Structure 1
Amino acid sequence: MHALHAGADALMRRIGRDVLMAHFQKLEAGQIEEKAPDDYVTIADKESEALLIEGLTALLPGSHVVGEEGVAADASLILRATEGAAWIVDPLDGTGNFAAGRTPFAMMVALAQGGVVQAGWILDPVGGRMCHAVLGGGAYVDGQRITARPTGGAQPIGALATRYLPDDVRASVMARSEGHITIADIPHCAGEQYPRLALGTNDLALFWRAMPWDHAPGALFLEEAGGRIARIDGKPYRLGDDRPGLLAAASPQLWDEAAERLFG
């Protein structure tokens, strides 16, 4: 796994530098497309994913890639996320931020075997921070092992992504959190939100959409750091289960308290 990590790390850093940073704040109008309302794709997403496919499959012969843009072109590809050795790839997470010329944005990669995530990587191309995790082997930031830590605030600080919640769920969550959870701005980038949970910036995060490229790397990173992510009903998050609704927290205790507060 060490050689694989070194290869993935080097590949992602190179693509981050040569593609993402090369296009950042330099996009032309024709290089940005809207796949759906408020869902963008840029030339950088496409170039990054093509290079990740080439590089990752070379690192692990016999593996295949399930990438966000590949699935956008052929929805059936998502079924391969739980087959064999699968790289789960978000070539540019936070595309809306990137297209607007602002941070944060990230590149995210996970390696799954038979539907079980074995390793994950989250690169911040601007600052160069690499978050990495290995199943049963811990969570690391730039090679240093870390343990998730709560913010220590009088109330838990929660990044609640309520935008995609059904209206009734949103109203209930906001009412239940008032006076009990300090609401933080969301970064519109899962590749930034997961590090915030592990590094003491936020205590909680609520996600509604659960696409594998948004969560497979970060979920492993958070849990290997000692945090918890699960379905709202407490069932484990598993690759291949794309039902909506995920609650993440910097510790299991915070998760239990938040689940009771928001949904109990």
Structure 2
Amino acid sequence: MTQSIDIDKISDVLVDVAATYILPRYNALTSGQIDTKSGPNDLVTIADTEAEEALVRILPDLYPGSIVIGEESISSGKATLAPLKDAGRMVWVVDPVDGTYNFVHGKREFAVMLACVMDGEIRAGWIYDILGERTMTMEKGAGAYFEGRRLNLTNRNDAINATGHIGKKYFPKEMRAHLEDQRDKVKQFYSLSCAAHEYINLATGKADFGVYSRIKPWDHLAGVLAVTEAGGVIAKWDSSVYHPSDDFGGLIVASHDALLHQIDAIFIKPILEDIILKYGK
């Protein structure tokens, strides 16, 4: 299936949806508008659900025959990832408020993430930093852009000089001590608790690498396309081919191939066999 995508038009849609359903709720949520999902820090708000519902209505109207799946519809059991395996379907994957915990607690690191998948490939993506009023767009084969500038990763830092994103609290308990033990092998690593803002850093060169233990499509599709279109690289922990429908396993993101292999050797390879034995690939 081949269908052209109006990148700018979709960017405008995200700005409008955020202005209507998300921004008015920032620092204005009541307790009844916040709920939990898998745990006390896994939050969902009325802003998440209303923004996703709006995109479920709008995008198929713009692109008849397409389907929208989102974090909240998946989490609630109303949708599955199965459409991502349908090569003949145009599928939009949305995280209406990536960084919901930050959003609820008045922090700045939250954003809208959207990706378009066709024929088993990530064709386009958007990351809209709502408070910063900045949109990163990316299209397969056409580059990644941020604030009107085409992105080109030129940093060639090795691990000891590299800054990255690792959120230890999201990793299996068995890995956390190992990650901390290896901290001095890189310049620094930290977490923003928001994949969208971490991918902005990764695609612009502000960060050199990222290591992720959760690869839900809504958190990674747009960012993976941004980094690879900017010249960076990605790899799954087990070296299997990354597919848009993947929702289990781990991912390494880096500005260049040599760094990716260094990060893998430092943080993942030494304990990968034990992790696979316990959790599977």
TM-score (norm 1): 0.93
**Distance (whole Å) between structure 2 residues aligned to residue 143 and residue 2 of structure 1:** 21
Q: 1:80 aligns with which of 79, 83, 101?
A: 83
TM alignment of 1:23-42, pairs within 5 A: 23-37=25-39, 38-42=41-45
What is the root-mean-square deviation in Å for CA atoms of aligned residues? 1.8
What is the SS of the residue equivalent to 2:81?
helix
The answer (yes or no) to whether the contact 2:36–2:43 under 8 Å persists in 1 is yes
Residue 231 of structure 1 is matched in structure 2 by 236
Alpha-carbon shift at residue 15 of structure 1 (Å): 1.0
What is the SS of the residue equivalent to 1:98?
helix
Aligned residue identity for 1:18: T
Alpha-carbon shift at residue 261 of structure 1 (Å): 2.1
1:105 aligns with 2:105: no
Aligned length in residues:
263
The answer (yes or no) to whether the contact 2:165–2:189 under 8 Å persists in 1 is yes
- CA separation of 1:72 and 1:45: change in aligned 2, threshold 3 A: same
1:253 aligns with 2:258: yes
**Distance (whole Å) between structure 2 residues aligned to residue 16 and residue 148 of structure 1:** 29
**Distance (whole Å) between structure 2 residues aligned to residue 241 and residue 76 of structure 1:** 15
TM alignment of 1:45-194, pairs within 5 A: 45-74=48-77, 76-83=79-86, 84-150=89-155, 155-175=161-181, 177-194=182-199
What is the SS of the residue equivalent to 1:184?
strand
Residue 219 of structure 2 is matched in structure 1 by 214
Post-superposition Cα deviations, 1:188-246, rounded to whole Å, max 9, x if no partner, equal 11110111112222111111111100001110111110111110133332111222211
**Distance (whole Å) between structure 1 residues aligned to residue 166 and residue 124 of structure 2:** 26
Aligned residue identity for 2:13: L
1:4 aligns with 2:10: no
1:201 aligns with 2:206: yes
The answer (yes or no) to whether the contact 1:121–1:132 under 8 Å persists in 2 is yes
Post-superposition Cα deviations, 1:3-43, rounded to whole Å, max 9, x if no partner, equal 62122111001111222111111111111111121110001
**Distance (whole Å) between structure 2 residues aligned to residue 43 and residue 88 of structure 1:** 19
How much identity, in percent, do the aligned residues show? 32
The answer (yes or no) to whether the contact 1:90–1:214 under 8 Å persists in 2 is yes
Post-superposition Cα deviations, 1:176-199, rounded to whole Å, max 9, x if no partner, equal x23211333211111101111122
What is the SS of the residue equivalent to 1:233?
coil
Alpha-carbon shift at residue 151 of structure 1 (Å): 8.2
Alpha-carbon shift at residue 152 of structure 1 (Å): 5.1
Alpha-carbon shift at residue 144 of structure 1 (Å): 2.1
What is the SS of the residue equivalent to 1:27?
coil
Aligned residue identity for 2:171: L
**Quick check: 22-31 or 237-246, which moved more?**
237-246
The answer (yes or no) to whether the contact 1:157–1:204 under 8 Å persists in 2 is yes
